[in-house]
């Protein structure tokens, strides 16, 4: 680690900050975020013997989305044994599907266990990052000052920017309004008339928890989700003890779960006609829990299962059958000071609005403050849709790596598997850079373009292209979010860093390396 003492002054439109004659930290690697991606990257760096790195965290605690989302009932919808690092299994998961507080505690323990805490720069929101072409490093401005880094790794994740609905009049609402990812624990919902907008993964978890407290719950849903049984259950103490004493037993359970979930990719990607079995299961699940045929009709999806995210719940449907709950399928026309008007003209008196409206995924704001070669922003590069080579590198942005980038998301298995696959690829890139004295690397534009054409071509035959609108799709209707195949294929294809697909620049020169 080194420090640069040259005078430097920098001003941004949103943060007028001046740094004069202050030491500027220069590290080899800067990582953004302390969720699974950023933390996993930091741990694997340290395990490989690298210590010259910093982890930039905008908050004062670890956890990413598992720190921010604290709404009632928040839990993972991937089995606990799959939702952990392969190099740090947790034998003490209390349930088949781990709750939010256990996942965050696991990430905190992992950070302490592997000595990552000293590398974290807390309360450091990244304001912008600019590639310095002449000196071949990233110049990063944060709320804690300036930082130079040879390598920049974005581990912020796609579910970090809450999306609020653009509804006429919502700014005039005089009651309490908040997003599910910014839960107001200081606000008592008891006896309130509550409107919930959205029926995604968060809504089906917190609606059953708040329903017994509120006076009236009005659920506004544009499109009902496909819901299958969750079948959550406590993990017995004897089993936790066994996993702790004989880790191989937990690895066997984990492996079995992985392959069972991997099989579902067959129906989503390769044989969409197989999805009918899942749709039958979901229909029987609804029929067993909802007797009212009118309510069942409201809650029955009209699109193919898997086109939108498939949800798991055992208590959402029963909550909707309670007398203080109304499911409204009419679109919202406008929001007034104390009510919501639906498209049919009905006025619903409301005290509180909870927006379960998801996140900015394909239109995230971070790319607007990342500037690559020639001052070209990542937002400009992605103005027609997000794209990256294996979701990890982007042409025109040297020494920039993404974790959970475009087309790495999953609809069937654990994202931790994908994250670890990308981490292995990045570590191999760093190893080759050190071995061959490479100062900078970036993927060749034609290689990136070929890869992204492959992604969109493969998407055409998947269930995600069967006609519904979802957060998987960008403004053009392209699925730039998910990986169109098995996860083991992704891992196999990026198990080694492929130098032949990159432009490499040698140390102490700006001339490209001839391969």
Our CA dihedral for 495, 500, 503, 508, rounded to 10 degrees, sits at: 90
Look at residue 14 in the predicted model and tell me its pLDDT.
Answer: 40
Look at residue 20 in the predicted model and tell me its pLDDT.
Answer: 44
Look at residue 418 in the predicted model and tell me its pLDDT.
Answer: 97
Look at residue 10 in the predicted model and tell me its pLDDT.
Answer: 33
Structural domains in the chain, CATH included, are: 2-161+360-506 (3.50.50.60), 170-225+292-355 (3.50.50.60)
| CB crowding 37-75: b at 16 or more within 10 Å, else e | bbbbbbbbbeeeebeebbbbbbeeebbbbbbbbbbbbbb
Q: Which residues of the chain are modeled with pLDDT < 70?
A: 1-23, 158-160, 359-364, 471, 508-515
Look at residue 267 in the predicted model and tell me its pLDDT.
Answer: 81
Bridge pairing between strands 438-443 and 145-154: unpaired
Q: DSSP secondary-structure letter at 482?
A: B
Rounded Cα distance, 123 and 56, in Å: 8
Look at residue 366 in the predicted model and tell me its pLDDT.
Answer: 85
Look at residue 308 in the predicted model and tell me its pLDDT.
Answer: 87
Q: Are residues 74 and 100 in contact, defined by beta-carbon separation less than 8 angstroms?
A: yes
What is the rounded radius of gyration, in angstroms, for the C-alpha atoms of the chain?
24
Look at residue 2 in the predicted model and tell me its pLDDT.
Answer: 40
Look at residue 211 in the predicted model and tell me its pLDDT.
Answer: 98
Look at residue 229 in the predicted model and tell me its pLDDT.
Answer: 96
Structure-token pair, residue 255: 């492996």
Look at residue 268 in the predicted model and tell me its pLDDT.
Answer: 82
Look at residue 462 in the predicted model and tell me its pLDDT.
Answer: 85
């Amino acid at each position: 680690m080194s420090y640069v003492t040259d005078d430097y002054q920098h001003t941004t439109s949103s943060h007028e900050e001046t740094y004069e004659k202050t030491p500027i930290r220069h590290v080899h690697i800067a990582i953004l975020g302390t969720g699974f991606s950023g933390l996993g990257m930091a741990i694997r760096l340290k395990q490989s013997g690298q210590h010259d790195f910093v982890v930039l965290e905008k908050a004062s605690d670890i956890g990413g989305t598992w720190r921010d989302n604290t709404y009632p009932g928040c839990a993972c919808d991937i089995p606990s044994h799959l939702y952990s690092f392969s190099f740090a299994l947790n034998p003490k998961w209390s349930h088949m599907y781990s709750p939010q507080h256990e996942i965050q505690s696991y990430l905190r323990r992992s950070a302490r266990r592997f000595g990552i805490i000293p590398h974290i720069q807390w309360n450091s929101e990244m304001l912008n990052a600019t590639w310095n072409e002449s000196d071949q490093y990233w110049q990063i401005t944060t709320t804690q000052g300036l930082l130079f880094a040879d390598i920049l790794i974005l581990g912020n994740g796609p579910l970090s920017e809450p999306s609020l609905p653009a509804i006429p009049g919502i700014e005039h609402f005089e009651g309490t309004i908040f997003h599910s990812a910014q839960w107001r624990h200081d606000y008592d919902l008891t006896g309130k008339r509550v409107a919930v907008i959205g029926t995604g993964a968060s809504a089906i978890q917190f609606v059953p928890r708040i329903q017994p407290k509120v006076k009236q719950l009005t659920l506004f849903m544009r499109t009902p989700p496909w819901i299958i049984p969750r079948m959550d259950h406590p993990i017995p103490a004897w089993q936790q003890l066994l996993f702790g004493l004989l880790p191989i037993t937990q690895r066997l359970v984990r492996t079995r779960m992985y392959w069972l979930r991997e099989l579902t990719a067959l129906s989503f990607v390769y044989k969409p006609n197989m999805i009918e079995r899942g749709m039958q299961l979901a229909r029987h699940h609804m029929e067993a829990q909802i007797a009212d045929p009118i309510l069942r009709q409201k809650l029955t999806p009209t699109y193919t299962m898997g086109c939108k995210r498939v949800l798991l719940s055992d208590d959402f449907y029963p909550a909707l059958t309670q007398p203080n709950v109304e499911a409204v399928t009419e679109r919202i026309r406008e929001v007034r000071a104390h009510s919501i008007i639906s498209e049919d003209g009905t006025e619903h008196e409301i005290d509180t609005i909870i927006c379960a409206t998801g996140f900015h995924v394909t239109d995230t704001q971070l790319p607007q403050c990342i500037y690559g070669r020639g001052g070209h922003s990542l937002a400009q590069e992605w103005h027609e849709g997000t794209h990256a080579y294996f979701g990890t590198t982007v042409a025109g942005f040297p020494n920039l790596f993404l974790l959970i980038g475009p087309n790495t998301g999953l609809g069937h298995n654990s994202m931790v598997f994908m994250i670890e696959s990308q981490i292995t690829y990045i570590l191999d890139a760093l190893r080759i850079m050190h071995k061959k004295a490479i100062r900078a690397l970036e993927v060749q534009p034609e290689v990136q373009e070929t890869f992204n054409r492959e992604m969109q071509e493969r998407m055409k035959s998947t269930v995600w292209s069967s006609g519904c609108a979802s957060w998987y799709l960008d403004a053009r209707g392209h699925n730039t979010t998910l990986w169109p195949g098995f996860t083991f294929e992704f891992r196999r294809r990026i198990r080694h860093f492929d130098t032949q697909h990159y432009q490499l620049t040698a140390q102490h020169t700006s001339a490209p390396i001839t391969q």
